[in-house]
Chain A
Amino acid sequence: MLSTGIRQLGFAWSMLSGRRFRVGDVLALADDMRATLQEFGSAGDGAGDMLTAPDPEIQANLTERRLRRTVRNAARHTPYYRHLFERTGVDPASVSPATIASIPPTPKGALRSMPSAFVSDAARPAVAAQTTGTTGVPTTVWFSQYELEITAATSALALMLVTGLRTEHVWANCITTRSIAQYLAERSVPMTGAGYVPIGPVDPRIALDRLATPVHLPGKRPQITHLNTTPSYLAALVQEAERDGWTAADFGLQEIHVGGEILTDALRDRARELFDAPVTDGYSMTEIIPVAGQVCAHDHLHVAADLGHVEVLDPVTFEPAAPGAVGSLTVTPFLSYRDTTTLLRYVTGDLVRVLPEAEKLDCEMAAVPATSRVLGRVTGSDLTTRDVLELLQAERALPLPTRYALEETGDAAGPVLHVVAERADRTLLARIEGRVADLALPLSGVNLVEDPADLSAPCRVRADLREHTFHTAGRRM
Chain B
Amino acid sequence: MSHALRGALALDAAVLVTVGLAVAYLAKVRMPRPPAGLFVRSDIVIMVALLVIMPFAYLNMPAAVVCTVFGLVVFVGLQATLAPVIGGRTAMVAATLVCAFEVVAYFAGWSTALMVVNDGALVIVAAGVTNMWVQTAMKPSLVAGLAAALVVYDTVATGLASVTSDFMHLVNGIPFAPMLAARYAPEPIMLGLGDTLMLTLWPLVAIKSYGRVAGICAVVVDMLLMAAVFAGFASGAITWIPLLTPLGPLIVAQYLYWRRRTPVVVPVRAPLEAALRASYGEDEPADGTWVALHEGKVVGRGDSPGAARRAAREAGVAEVPVTALGRP
| A interface residues with partner B (beta carbon < 8 Å) | 1-5, 8, 29, 32-33, 35-36, 39-40, 43-47, 49-50, 208-214, 216, 218, 222-223, 246-247, 249-250, 252, 471-477
Contact = CB atoms under 8 A, between A and B. Distances in A.
Contact of B36 (A2, A44, A476): A44
Given A5-B37, A40-B137, A473-B303, 17 more contacts: A1-B136, A4-B40, A32-B37, A44-B37, A45-B35, A212-B309, A212-B310, A213-B309, A213-B323, A214-B305, A214-B320, A214-B323, A216-B272, A216-B320, A222-B271, A252-B320, A477-B302
Interface string B297-308: 000111111111
Interface of B: 32-40, 42-43, 46, 136-137, 266-267, 269, 271-272, 289, 300-311, 313-314, 318, 320-323
Contact of A211 (B33, B266, B306, B314): B306
Given A2-B42, A477-B311, A33 B36 contact: yes
Contacts, number: 133
A48 to B, nearest CB: 8
B301 A477 contact: yes
A46 B32 CA distance: 10
A446 to B, nearest CB: 38
Contacts of B304: 209, 213, 471-475
Contact of A474 (B34, B137, B271, B303): B303
A74 B302 CA distance: 58
Contacts of A46: 34-35
- Across the A-B interface, give the 3 residue pairs with the lowest CB-CB distance, nearest first: A209-B306, A4-B37, A44-B33
B311 A36 contact: no
A170 to B, nearest CB: 12
B305 A213 contact: yes
B303 A8 contact: no
Nearest to A4: B37
B96 to A, nearest CB: 23
Nearest to A44: B33
Contacts of A213: 304-306, 309, 323
A1 B34 contact: yes
Contacts of B40: 1, 3-4
A5 B307 CA distance: 49
A1 B302 contact: no
Contacts of A45: 32-35
B260 to A, nearest CB: 23
Which of B272, B301, B307 is most buried by chain A, counting CB atoms within 10 A of its CB?
A: B307
B26 to A, nearest CB: 15
Contacts of B42: 2-3
Contacts of B36: 4, 8, 29, 32-33, 36, 43-44, 47, 50
Contact of B34 (A44, A212, A214, A472): A44
A223 B272 CA distance: 14
